[in-house]
Chains A and B, each alone.
Chain A
Amino acid sequence: MTVSNHHWRKARNVFMQAFTFVCAILVILPLLLVFFYLLKQGAGSVNWAFFTELPKPVGEVGGGMANAILGTFILISLASCLGVPVGVLGGVFLSEYSHRRLNWWIRFTADIINGVPSITWGMVVYALIVLPMKGFSVLAGGVVLGLIMIPLIMRTTEEVLQLVPNGYREAALALGIAQWRVIVQIVLRTALKGIVTGVMLALARVAGETAPLLFTAFGNAYWTHRLTEPIAALPLQIFNYAISPYDDWHRQAWAGALVLILLISGINICVRTLTRDRFSKRA
């Protein structure tokens, strides 16, 4: 009786190990499938023209997404101008100045904002910028992505600053250096790598955002010359081409998706492997 019970327990142990392993494989299966199809369908269409030419009108084969690629870079640069300073300084407050109750509420609110669907940000910026300026614009697109970055960067900055040993702060304060200089010159500098990681990950995240750009940046088939004009972005272009009925546009959508995912996973893999050793609690 006890022997068979023991066997049964051991068998169940092995079974659960196998079962959870299969679940883990199922979880990463979509990733593998998506990458496989992106390479299969998209690789053939990523060529010189794709990076240098404007989209061709319907019916003409060829053309590229040069304006959308540049547009994405312009939008995330603009977004960084808003998201990085606000996020990093807010993170400094959370980590360096302890007001227990207030900080709890700030964290709580930041985490809730992180979970707000990005499309609602698009509506807010539409009401705030697009309507008063009477048109879709680069500015609106940059602002919406910047707003999405703020809570992301605030929380990651706080986290890496907490990893700076307190001895650093105390040693510097003991030398009579003002607290703000300790924060800027010692704490921020020590944690710089971690902060940059957080910023890069936030950039990778907003670079793929589509929903909030639908009615802010809007998209554009040509080059954009002013902050007040609509601008193309890679995710928008992928969406518009994917839901179109034309085969040549589908081909381009796959190519665009391949470029976008290489950009985003490239950033992810680089910053994660480069900074894994120091500023990360992961094993």
Chain B
Amino acid sequence: MGNPATSHLGDRLFKGLTLVMALSVFVLIILIGFELAHGSSTAIRQFGWRFLISSDWDPVNEKFGALPFIFGTLVSSAIGLLIAVPLSIATAVYLTELAPLWLRQPLTMFIELLAAVPSVILGLWGIFVMVPWLSGHLFPLLQKYLGFLPLFQGPIYGPSIFAGGIIVAIMVLPIITSVSREILRSVPGLQREAAYALGATRWEVTRIAVLSYAKKGLFGAVILGLGRALGETMAVTMVIGNSPQIVKSLFAPGYTLASVVANEFSEATTDTYLSALFEIGLVLLGVTVLVNALAQLLLKTFAGPGVKPQH
């Protein structure tokens, strides 16, 4: 056992093995970028930049443009974040600063469980419970009181961009909450004590000493949530109505980048059609990689290696 030559060799082999495994992440990211770019080469050659600004989606005549999907993705993500961000950050504040100690653990457990609910199950609940409730109760109410805005005009179908946005909100609530919670927990206790020593109330301590200190990290948490919102697939596909159009009304059905791939990829009959879907995937990949890189940089520069990665 004590032979230095063999253990030296063993050390080098083991280190080499773990290094190769660790480097696999670079292989993965190159692989995903290459395969999607390769798959979409036909569409890129045929449509060029027009693909991103054209709103035709006509598989029969082989005319493809991604604009309605980009629109649907952006609008549903925006609605999702508008709902989820205030709720999540307030919840994170409650969990780390204001809640009684005995309540923190069980509430955190519930939020972790919500994070574990598969998208397809949320979608199932969305189709049969949430959408009927929205079109029966909430949407008519909104139309009655906010109907002067173009956003809340037009016929109520049920499956709609708005329903998609709400589902996105539910999907990103747990991740924004738990990352924000980690951020707030990493605020040094001295910050709080200093504010308490000045006679601040609990909320004032939170606002002055904690929230202003953690601003950058919380922004990172929100951007991370945006990355998830943009890529959310199954639940959104099941409630958004899947109709490639750009309309002002939030009650109208829409379509997102991820859902068009989910719905049409295995039915794409021609090479151009398949290639157009690959290009949609490429757009989605590009946007989410950029957004996630930004989020990681914000989170890493906020807290160094102390803040846990979230998935």
Does B134 reach chain A (CB closer than 8 Å)? no
A23 contacts B87, C-beta separation under 8 Å:
yes
A27 contacts B124, C-beta separation under 8 Å:
no
Option from B11, B26, B117 in Cβ contact (under 8 Å) with A109: B26
Chain A residues with Cβ under 8 A from B14's Cβ? 179-180, 183-184
B167, closest chain A residue (CB): A30
Does A1 reach chain B (CB closer than 8 Å)? no
A147 contacts B15, C-beta separation under 8 Å:
no
Known A-B contacts A24-B94, A269-B113; the reply to A33 vs B125 at CB < 8 A is yes
Does B218 reach chain A (CB closer than 8 Å)? no
Option from A105, A114, A176, A211 in Cβ contact (under 8 Å) with B309: A114
A28 contacts B107, C-beta separation under 8 Å:
yes
The list of the 3 closest CB pairs from A to B, nearest first, reads: A208-B118, A117-B231, A178-B7
8 A Cβ contacts from B183-237 to A: 201-204, 206, 224, 227-228, 230-234
Known A-B contacts A20-B93, A34-B125, A272-B112; the reply to A127 vs B292 at CB < 8 A is no
8 A Cβ contacts from A95-113 to B: 96-97, 105-113
Task: Give Cα A127 to B95, complex, Å.
Answer: 45
Does A275 reach chain B (CB closer than 8 Å)? no
Chain B residues with Cβ under 8 A from A109's Cβ? 25-26, 29
Does A50 reach chain B (CB closer than 8 Å)? no
10 contacts between A and B (CB under 8 A): A24-B90, A26-B87, A27-B177, A37-B125, A113-B29, A117-B232, A123-B39, A184-B14, A264-B118, A268-B113
Range for the number of chain B residues in contact with chain A: 35 or more
Does B165 reach chain A (CB closer than 8 Å)? no
8 A Cβ contacts from A200-224 to B: 204-205, 207-211, 214-215, 218
Known A-B contacts A30-B170, A126-B265; the reply to A93 vs B21 at CB < 8 A is yes
Does B50 reach chain A (CB closer than 8 Å)? no
Does A257 reach chain B (CB closer than 8 Å)? yes
Which residues of B pack against A, CB within 8 Å? 2, 7-8, 10-11, 13-15, 17-19, 21-26, 28-29, 31-32, 35-36, 38-39, 86-88, 90-91, 93-95, 98-99, 104-105, 107-114, 116-125, 127-129, 170, 173-174, 177, 201-204, 206, 224, 227-228, 230-234, 238, 258, 261-262, 265-266, 277-278, 281, 284-285, 288-289, 291-293, 295-296, 300, 308-309, 311
Which residues of A pack against B, CB within 8 Å? 9-10, 12-13, 16-17, 19-21, 23-24, 26-28, 30-31, 33-34, 37-38, 41, 85-87, 89-94, 96-97, 105-124, 126-128, 147, 150-152, 154-155, 159, 176, 178-181, 183-184, 204-205, 207-211, 214-215, 218, 235, 238-239, 242-243, 250, 253-254, 257, 260-261, 264-265, 268-269, 272, 281-283
B238 contacts A108, C-beta separation under 8 Å:
no
B37 to chain A, nearest CB (A): 11
Task: Give Cα A147 to B116, complex, Å.
Answer: 19
Option from B203, B227, B300 in Cβ contact (under 8 Å) with A108: B300
A253 contacts B258, C-beta separation under 8 Å:
no
Task: Give Cα A89 to B13, complex, Å.
Answer: 12
Task: Give Cα A170 to B292, complex, Å.
Answer: 37
Known A-B contacts A13-B203, A20-B98, A111-B309; the reply to A265 vs B113 at CB < 8 A is yes
A123 contacts B114, C-beta separation under 8 Å:
no
B50 to chain A, nearest CB (A): 22
A34, closest chain B residue (CB): B125
Known A-B contacts A33-B129, A111-B296, A113-B28; the reply to A242 vs B123 at CB < 8 A is yes
Chain B residues with Cβ under 8 A from A204's Cβ? 116
B28 contacts A210, C-beta separation under 8 Å:
no
Chain A residues with Cβ under 8 A from B308's Cβ? 159, 281
Chain A residues with Cβ under 8 A from B120's Cβ? 208, 210, 235, 238-239, 242, 257
Option from B10, B18, B129 in Cβ contact (under 8 Å) with A93: B18
Known A-B contacts A27-B111, A205-B116, A268-B116; the reply to A120 vs B91 at CB < 8 A is no
A116 contacts B202, C-beta separation under 8 Å:
no
Option from A16, A107, A120, A183 in Cβ contact (under 8 Å) with B32: A120
B31 to chain A, nearest CB (A): 6
A96 to chain B, nearest CB (A): 7
A239 contacts B123, C-beta separation under 8 Å:
yes
A242 contacts B127, C-beta separation under 8 Å:
yes
